[in-house]
A = this chain, B = another copy of it.
Amino acid sequence: MRFRFVGTGDSAQTPCFGCDCQACGRARVISSCQRGPCSAEFWVNASRYLLDAGRMDLVESCERERPAAIFLTHYHADHVQGLLHLRWGLGASIPVFGPKDSHGCADLYRNPGLLDFRAGLKPFKPIHLDGMTVTPVPLLHSKPTLGYCLDDGGTKLAYLTDTLGLPCETESFLRDWEPDVVVLDATYPASHMEPKNHNNLPMAVQIIDRLGCPEAYLTHISHRLEADVLRDPSQLPANIRLAQDNLELQLGMHLAAS
């Protein structure tokens, strides 16, 4: 499996408009430190699949390589706003899988254009792609939200954003499933003591500890968390890294930043 982080920021992205913190200042002068809307993509047997569609340049990206399907974690704008443009294109429809959510976002359901919104996925019921099994798992967020457990027969990766903690049944599933890599929401720093809808860093670390996963990446990272980690990098255990935009994982082989 080839897996790539496309965006690793929260809804404000990094740099955050109007902010002068260390993380935002750095991102303004080093473009590789920027964080776009949280999303990823993976390839199996030369087919490209998207995990969320909030990137602003979604159409340009799809012109370069048309996706076989899009998996949505949920319908918040920063995860779907690229679809508001992509839908008006021409050609074959693009299947869109996601949680059952009667509202969607804006008028996407009413005016889907070339997007083929499939019925809401059933948690824990796997989808079989050509060379990959994708199992949706419920998360804890302010809108119906799914994580996705990807298994290409050689490597297992769990992509878990946006969430505050994990539902018991999801944590139980993951313990049995034994992922090789976990990608988990860590939006806020430790000082954000009562986070809503997203983990802070200590919560994310505890979850990864409980899952006993050897390798983990944090995503949906706010500029505030990043500034805090820049101040004190020792907060991150050795097996947990902050993901970064464009980081590509060659799973089953070795991990390398593109």
> Which A residues are closer than 8 A to B by beta carbons?
10-13, 15-19, 37, 56-57, 59, 62-63, 76-78, 81, 84-86, 88-91, 105-107, 114
Contact = CB atoms under 8 A, between A and B. Distances in A.
A89 B16 contact: yes
Protomer copies = 2
11 contacts: A10-B88, A16-B89, A17-B85, A17-B88, A17-B89, A18-B89, A18-B114, A19-B89, A37-B85, A76-B107, A78-B84
Nearest to A75: B106
Contact of A90 (B19, B59, B78): B19
Q: Interface centre among A37, A77, A89, A91, by most B CB within 10 Å?
A: A77
Q: 9 tightest A-B contacts by CB?
A: A17-B89, A18-B91, A12-B88, A56-B56, A18-B90, A77-B84, A18-B89, A106-B106, A19-B90
A126 to B, nearest CB: 30
Nearest to A89: B17
Contacts of A37: 85
Nearest to A108: B77
Contacts of A16: 88-90
Contacts of A106: 77, 105-106
B78 A11 contact: no
A57 B77 CA distance: 15
A78 B111 CA distance: 13
A59 B17 CA distance: 6
A166 B62 CA distance: 37
A105 B10 CA distance: 20
A63 B78 CA distance: 19
A153 to B, nearest CB: 32
Given A13-B85, A16-B89, A57 B59 contact: no
A105 B84 CA distance: 11
